[in-house]
Amino acid sequence: MSSQKFILETYCMLLQKIPEDKEEDKKGFQNVGDSIVHTAPEIIYTAWRRMFNYCSENFNDDTCDWHTKMRDLYNSRYDEWVRLESK
């Protein structure tokens, strides 16, 4: 699987973790996705930083279940991507 596809799948998985009633949060994160889909393949790895920055600034409440699920998902997917890219 290409890095671009893996990162876009990760973004979609994260977006799905945001509850439907959190429209403002969804809209803000969708802006991150818009920038990711327009990123050139040779610098797609920079999408990780954009997702990380947005999530760490906006979804950082450890008492909120969906915030912690997003953090855990991001971390596990990033670790998997690093492992795949190192092969």
Angle in degrees, 0-180, between the axes of helices 23-37 and 46-58, rounded to the nearest 10 = 170
DSSP-assigned states of every residue in the chain: --HHHHHHHHHHHHHHHS-TT-HHHHHHHHHHHHHHHTS-GGGTTHHHHHHHHHHHHHS--TTSHHHHHHHHHHHHHHHHHHHHHT-
Q: Tell me, what's the pLDDT at 1?
A: 76
> Which residue in the block uniquely carries the two structure tokens 């429209």?
23
pLDDT above 90 as % of the chain: 95
pLDDT in tens, 46-86: 999 999 999 999 999 999 999 999 999 999 999 999 999 98
What pTM did the predictor assign? 0.93
Domain ranges of the chain: 3-85
